[in-house]
Structure 1
Amino acid sequence: MDFDRIKEKLNILADAAKYDVSCSSSGSKRKNTNKGLGDSSGMGICHSYTEDGRCVSLLKILLTNHCIFDCAYCVTRKSNDIKRAAFKVQEVVDLTINFYRRNYIEGLFLSSGIFKSPDTTMERLVQVAKKLRLEENFNGYIHLKSIPGASDELMYEAGLYADRLSVNIEIPTREGLQLLAPDKDRKDFLQPMKKVKNEIVRYKAERNIIKSTPKFAPAGQSTQMIVGATNETDAQVMYTAAYFYKKYQMKRVYYSGYIPVSYDPRLPSIGTDVPLLRENRLYQADWLMRFYGFSIEELLNKEHPNLDSDVDPKLSWALRNLHLFPVDVNKADKQMLARIPGLGMKSVYKILGARKYRNLNWEHLQKIGVALNRAKYFMVCNSKEWEKKDLSAMNIKGLILQNSKSKFRNTYNNQLNLFDKQDALIQY
């Protein structure tokens, strides 16, 4: 094996894979059997943080950065003058096993540029997963990036060996995709998604009858949208996400702030900042829809087509709907408690459980973990009057932002003092 050549390929294809953000904790429970190698049960993937604070990782590479398409937003498009490379199937298998044995990774995230045809590319990806499972008896996590336009037969085989499958929808709207990737057809993205969803549904139904039914993509499927390459509003982005959650039962929709990679008149200029704050706000809105019971219409509408950059979406919604507040934490139902800024779902469940035994006061809420610096403007309890009084939405927003900045300054100063003390100890 030419180790220098393998290392060069790894540098090129690992760097090219960094633009794909659609990887996180697996959610898979593939257990190690027959003294095999690895175990994905209870493990997170790709520098993701688990609930107990552990940071876990995976080998994240492209099979190749050769591509027959010329998508304006993609660094691996065929017209881009970059160094090209491609792994052989066995090379990826060997890298995965060797890295795993050295305890560098818990699994593999494998994507690829499209060479020759979608089926040819998808077949190679499946071969990697199949070799790892059957020849190396590898039970760690495998995430395969599904290739748009791949056949149903290959998608089915991929699901037998991979824990998670994903097809990146890339651009939120059909019009945006047509503008920046005219060679691609949106239906080619939807076909593999539909096949995976149908097979997952079928597997669950058969599993209830026959326990030995082979697993099919136990960690489900996900997708990713590029944000900022076209002029879609946040409302359009979130409506697209909601469609995929409902229609294709996505585990996650990821939002990737567009990074300018070359000059193109259809794209934002090279000097444009990556919209990281917008990306963060979209994730917050996504979380509110999936776990807090918010609808898109509440967060985004004709009057507010984009999320507020100054405050998070829940606080923004509350400031626009002050007529619904204050909320009595000792009487309100779960849905309304979840809409109080400063209350996470864990706090909501703690409140629902604790108030069965007594009326809660301000001290109780602090111990529960409620962020009172913002929640106090939107609720009452057993021992405190409503802090809003006659404040307007603008006044409340200003006070919360001021408190947030003060808290940040205090944290920053405390860290500086800690570093100063450490330096003094080192010098001593």
Structure 2
Amino acid sequence: MAMDSDEKLRLLGGTEDLDEERRAYSPAHSPQMRQAPGAAGIYWAAARGRRVPLLRALRTNVCELDCRYCAINRHRDTRRASFRPEELARTFMQMHERGMVVGIFLSSGVAGGPDRTAEKLIETVELLRERYRYRGYVHLKVMPGQSPDYIRRAFELADRLSINLEAPTPDHLARIAPSKDFWRHLVAPMREVVRLQRLHPEKLRAGQITQMVVGAAGDSDRDILAATQWLYGELGMRRVYYSAYRPVCGEVLAPPASDLREHRLYQADWLMRFYGFRLEELPFGPGGSLPQDMDPKLAWALRHPELFPVEVNRAPREWLLRVPGIGPESAQRIVRRRREGAIRSLEELRGLGVVVRRALPFLLLDGRYLADRAAARALWARKHEEAPRQLSLPWEADPLAAAAAVVGLRAAS
């Protein structure tokens, strides 16, 4: 029996395909895109500090690729369905007119080759733009190996384009997606989008994004973040998303990656994008892993006690950004506030957005060291003749106490 549109939406709007905007986590570890309870295909997406409902759907879950991490690859024994472009456009507009969704994210399994697949997606959006006069948000997935002509057509219609890199290097990709060529199928389309953006900077207002599956191919955090640095620097990627690997359909490529590991990658990503950190500065441990017991900014600070404490009333913005508990906005507020005179109290720092409990062990205020606990731990360390770095061992019990001890030794000396 043929499926009706509602049944297709329940199937194609809920497929677990490890998409970047569905599983992404911000540095606060809050989902960027959550499915609305009981509503097929509707996801709440984070956008400029607010949450908006999007229709997220596959046009088809028929796929000729063999990506081993994906629930819809050609070898899976799963129920298959496809929307016709007119059917999908009409379904979206009905939901939009009822106020259920404000935008659409269209993806697809690859059926009939990348360009044939792209043609069906583009036809759907052309119907929305031309027949239904829809002018709202459209995110289109670019198919692996999609030709420049079809990329250009998608570029003209969409607000955002994405193609999933999935793995940080060609070798890693070959382990989990044997039919994809890293450079030809994935990077070449990304470069074409960049070329079009340079020619038409007024278009594609939400930019180009990508995703990597974390842990499926034996990749380290260093491997992933090296690729991230390249994607931001060389390809001008608007955002890189990370999705912790989960085995699907009984095929286990590697142990499942933890949500915490995914979260640490987002934190490190933000350090590179907004805090001025370089890849080589990140606090990788053995095997290229980020620390799991504390955030990477705190771990970096504990490795560099010689750089702290920082004087709040004199430090430049780039050094304030290195202090745990101070972010880009609070650092900028501190700089602006200092033009009016010196900051005198912890309450002022709190009012400027500083997370004082985290920042205290690393700050001086007019030459005064503010972390009383640090002084006590420093005396304890001197009594036992322990080196500052040894005091960072009990991180799991109390990372901030360890921070205060490490920095306190320097402040008290």
Which aligned pairs between 1:176-195 and structure 2 lie closer than 5 A? 176-186=172-182, 187-195=184-192
Which whole-Å CA distance do the structure 2 matches of 1:110 and 1:223 have between them? Answer: 14
Which whole-Å CA distance do the structure 1 matches of 2:338 and 2:300 have between them? Answer: 26
Which whole-Å CA distance do the structure 1 matches of 2:47 and 2:234 have between them? Answer: 28
Q: Kindly provide the CA deviation profile for residues 73-130 of structure 1, in whole angstroms up to 9, marking residues without a partner as x.
A: 1111111111111110011101110010111111110000000111100111111111
CA contact (8 A) 2:20 2:210 kept: no
| SS of corresponding position for 2:292 | coil
Q: Kindly provide the CA deviation profile for residues 222-273 of structure 1, in whole angstroms up to 9, marking residues without a partner as x.
A: 00000011211101100001111122111000000111103336x025xx4x
Q: Give the partner amino acid of 1:150.
A: Q
Equivalenced residues, count:
369
Q: Counterpart in 1 of 2:348?
A: 364
Q: Counterpart in 2 of 1:153?
A: 149
Which whole-Å CA distance do the structure 2 matches of 1:18 and 1:169 have between them? Answer: 14
Give the RMSD, CA atoms, in angstroms: 2.4
CA contact (8 A) 1:200 1:217 kept: yes
Which whole-Å CA distance do the structure 2 matches of 1:91 and 1:24 have between them? Answer: 27
- Structure 1 position 218, deviation (Å): 2.0
| SS of corresponding position for 2:167 | coil
Q: Counterpart in 2 of 1:268?
A: 254
Q: Counterpart in 2 of 1:69?
A: 65
- Structure 1 position 399, deviation (Å): 7.6
Which aligned pairs between 1:354-393 and structure 2 lie closer than 5 A? 354-361=337-344, 362-382=346-366, 384-387=368-371, 388-389=374-375, 390=378, 392=388
CA contact (8 A) 1:22 1:223 kept: no
Which aligned pairs between 1:10-409 and structure 2 lie closer than 5 A? 10-16=9-15, 19-22=18-21, 46-52=43-49, 54-186=50-182, 187-204=184-201, 216-264=203-251, 267-268=253-254, 272=256, 274-300=257-283, 305-361=288-344, 362-382=346-366, 384-387=368-371, 388-389=374-375, 390=378, 392=388, 395=391, 398=394, 402=398
Q: Give the partner amino acid of 2:248.
A: V
CA contact (8 A) 1:377 1:396 kept: no
Distance 1:24 1:356, change over 3 A: farther
Which whole-Å CA distance do the structure 2 matches of 1:188 and 1:167 have between them? Answer: 10
Distance 1:305 1:141, change over 3 A: same
Which whole-Å CA distance do the structure 2 matches of 1:396 and 1:373 have between them? Answer: 17
Q: Give the partner amino acid of 1:296.
A: L
Which whole-Å CA distance do the structure 1 matches of 2:390 and 2:13 have between them? Answer: 47
Q: Kindly provide the CA deviation profile for residues 364-394 of structure 1, in whole angstroms up to 9, marking residues without a partner as x.
A: 1122221121211111113742423426456
Q: Which runs of 4+ in 1 moved over 6 A?
A: none
Which whole-Å CA distance do the structure 2 matches of 1:69 and 1:400 have between them? Answer: 43
CA contact (8 A) 1:245 1:251 kept: yes
Query: Identity rate of aligned residues, in percent?
Result: 37
Distance 1:345 1:137, change over 3 A: same
Q: Counterpart in 2 of 1:6?
A: 5
Which whole-Å CA distance do the structure 2 matches of 1:221 and 1:397 have between them? Answer: 42
Distance 1:199 1:46, change over 3 A: farther
Structure 2 gap segments, 5+ residues each? 25-41, 382-387, 402-413
Which whole-Å CA distance do the structure 1 matches of 2:132 and 2:331 have between them? Answer: 46
| SS of corresponding position for 1:307 | coil
Which whole-Å CA distance do the structure 1 matches of 2:324 and 2:306 have between them? Answer: 15
Greater Cα offset, 294-303 or 312-321:
294-303
CA contact (8 A) 1:69 1:78 kept: yes
CA contact (8 A) 1:167 1:193 kept: yes
Q: Give the partner amino acid of 2:254.
A: P
- Structure 1 position 63, deviation (Å): 0.6
Q: Give the partner amino acid of 1:372.
A: V
Distance 1:65 1:173, change over 3 A: same
CA contact (8 A) 1:69 1:183 kept: yes
| SS of corresponding position for 2:135 | coil
CA contact (8 A) 2:312 2:364 kept: yes
- Structure 1 position 21, deviation (Å): 2.3
Which whole-Å CA distance do the structure 1 matches of 2:43 and 2:320 have between them? Answer: 34
Which whole-Å CA distance do the structure 1 matches of 2:396 and 2:112 have between them? Answer: 55
CA contact (8 A) 1:347 1:368 kept: yes
Distance 1:402 1:291, change over 3 A: same
Distance 1:150 1:50, change over 3 A: closer
Q: Give the partner amino acid of 1:199.
A: L
Which whole-Å CA distance do the structure 2 matches of 1:178 and 1:6 have between them? Answer: 36
Distance 1:371 1:302, change over 3 A: closer
| SS of corresponding position for 1:58 | strand
